[in-house]
Amino acid sequence: MASPSALPASVLDLAPVVPVVVIDDAGDAVPLARALVAGGLPAIEVTLRTPAAPEAIRRIAGQVPEAVVGAGTVISPEQVADTVAAGARFLVSPGWTDALLEAMRGSGVPFLPGVSTTSEVVALLERGVREMKFFPAEAAGGTAYLKSLAGPLPQARFCPTGGIGPASAPDYLALPNVACVGGSWMLPRDAVAARDWGRVEALAREAAALSAGGTCR
C-alpha cells in the first residue's frame, strides 16, 4: 500500500480493482473510504457526478491517509485544478482532448485518460502516454477488443471500466494489457443508503482477491 505522503507511481498497480464511487452525501465519504481500505482496496475513484464529490475528496484526503483518493469523470482543466487542490492523488477521465491532457499532465499527479478506439490509443502513445482507461469497457467491445489491441499496441496498459462486475473482472485481468479494472459492484446502492459499511468492506475484500481466472493473487 502506498504511504500516505507519497503519490503512487502508477494508478494501475495499486490494486486489481479500483472502486468507482458516486457520493451523494459528503458525510458518507470517510466511513465509506475506511471500509474500502479495510477490505484491501486503497485506490478510490470519486466521480465528479454529484455536487458532494469535491468535498468528499477533501474529507477522504484529510481523514483517511491510508486511502489513495482520486477524482473521476474529470472533463475540464478547471476540474483538474480544483480536485488536485482538494487532495486528489490521481485523475481519471472518460475521454480526452489536448487541453485536458495538458492540464492532467501538468497537475503533478498520475492520470488515466479515457479511450474507446484504436486511434485514440495511438494518439496517446504518440504523446507519450501509455496508461489509459478503457471506457465504456463492455459497450466498446470488452475483452475481445482489448485482446485485439494487445498484439499491435503492446506498450499500452489499461484499466477497463464500465459494465464490469465480479463475474467478468477475472477475464479482463487475464489479459496481458490489463493491470486493473474499475467497478462499483462492491458499493451496492442499498448498502450505501443504509450505511452498511460492514457489507461494503466484505464486498471490497472479495474484489481485492480477484485476479485472472478468479483466484487470489
Catalytic residues: 45, 133
Q: Do the Cβ atoms of 83 and 76 come closer than 8 Å?
A: no
Q: What is the CA radius of gyration of the chain?
A: 16
CA distance 14 to 180: 8
- DSSP state string for 27-72: GGHHHHHHHHHHTT--EEEEETTSTTHHHHHHHHHHH-TTSEEEEE
Whole-angstrom CA distances from 132 to 74, 122, 167, 186 are 14, 11, 23, 22
Q: Report which residue type is found at 38.
A: A
* Residue 9 DSSP one-character state: S
Let me know how long the chain is: 217
